[in-house]
Amino acid sequence: MPEVALSPAFPPEPPRVAVIVPAFGVAHLLGEALDSLLDQTFTAWECLVIDDGAPDDVAGAVAPYLSDSRIRYLATANQGVSGARNTAIAATCAPLIALLDGDDRFRPDYLAQTVSALEDDPELRLVTVNAMLFGAVPQERLCFTGKQGSGDGQHGTLADLLDRSFGVYIGSTFRRADFDRIGGFDTAMAQSEDFDLWVRLMELGGRAGYIDSVLGEYRVRPNSASAHAARMLLGNIRVYEKARSALPADAPEQELLTRLLRQSQQALDFEYAVDRVVEGDIQRGLAELRRVKALVSGPVWTFSFALWRVFPRLAGPMLAWRRRAHSRGAGSADMSVIASFSALWA
């Protein structure tokens, strides 16, 4: 009897990784994400596409892919991205979890490399990769361009994650057992829910792994939730506060957290001062900007502050223009909070 080749739709072993695809508002892009999953060189995966009460036709977009038994679809009432991911993960069974947003893409070797890294090293709490940013950015560019972390560039500590010297791409892979131990995504987090998850995973001990290859593609959209620096800073402040409460009082990261909270609050004060100026409260806003202007430097800012002393009414349109110019894809994910803020206003 001739040997029958197994179709990729029927993997020869149980799934080793579950790919979670939230698709709220991106039905028109979902096919690109799922095509990138079907193109994986690693085939022992399951996928759950979750429709979190989306306003668009996610069911219609996923329908052509359901002939592959590895792909399933789940519709729920709207509960936010954290709740949606928690629900989807609970409906899968593989020991590893990979995140793929419905408007992003994996490169063909993404799963092969991340799954192998986690299976080979029990000390890894998560594995992240480099990715290409595309979409609403002036030009495509890498997510990470410098050395990752304070060590060998391939691993990160909790402190490295906290100060953002080790950046984590959202399309990362981690262990289900660790995810369950920390209680999943915190549904009370309105911003920085992914950063919060990475930090809490690292609080379990061990290290984060980095694969220095472009294995993902991250789409920046005009209405990206991270477009406004103040929202990002508020989310990060909450993550730092949670970490400070969770860690022992004598943990070495406590001093770092105190510094990061102070710097983040200063950066947030700067953002709010810009808001005041742009909204017309020029005198008060400029006074607040001058109190925290050490956060920004360079000849452009020196000239601007001098100009505004003479012509304060120019501050509003100048700052509004600067914010618009940098509102899309301004900060790369490998920057620290304050470095990212400085890049936004440089």
> Which tens digit of pLDDT belongs to each residue from 102-131?
999 999 999 999 999 999 999 999 999 999
Residues 6 or more apart whose CB falls under 8 angstroms from that of 27 comprise 54, 56, 57, 58, 60, 61, 102
Percent of the chain past pLDDT 90, that is, above it, reads 62
What pairs with residue 219 in β-bridges?
A: 134
Contact present, 76 and 22 (Cβ < 8 Å): no
Reported as a single tens digit per residue, the pLDDT across 253-285 is 999 999 999 988 888 888 888 888 888 888 888
The pLDDT score that the predictor gives to residue 12 is 56
Residue indicated by tokens 């950046």: 167
The CA radius of gyration of the chain, in Å to the nearest whole number, is: 22
CA distance 105 to 31: 10
pTM: 0.84
**Tell me, what DSSP letter sits at residue 65?**
G
Percent of the chain past pLDDT 70, that is, above it, reads 88
Q: Which of 1.10.10.10, 3.90.550.10, 3.30.10.20, 3.30.428.10 is the CATH number of 17-220?
A: 3.90.550.10
Instruction: Identify the band that residue 326 occupies on the pLDDT scale cut at 50, 70 and 90.
Output: low
The pLDDT score that the predictor gives to residue 343 is 46
Dihedral angle sign, alpha carbons of residues 60, 62, 68, 70: negative
What is the overall mean pLDDT for the chain?
87
Q: Residues of CATH 3.90.550.10 domain(s) within the chain?
A: 17-220
Residues 6 or more apart whose CB falls under 8 angstroms from that of 244 comprise 254, 257, 258, 261
| pLDDT reading at 223 higher than 80 | no
What is the mean pLDDT of the segment spanning 70-77?
95
Per-residue CA distances from 99 to 127, 162, 173 (Å)? 11, 21, 7
CA distance 292 to 269: 8
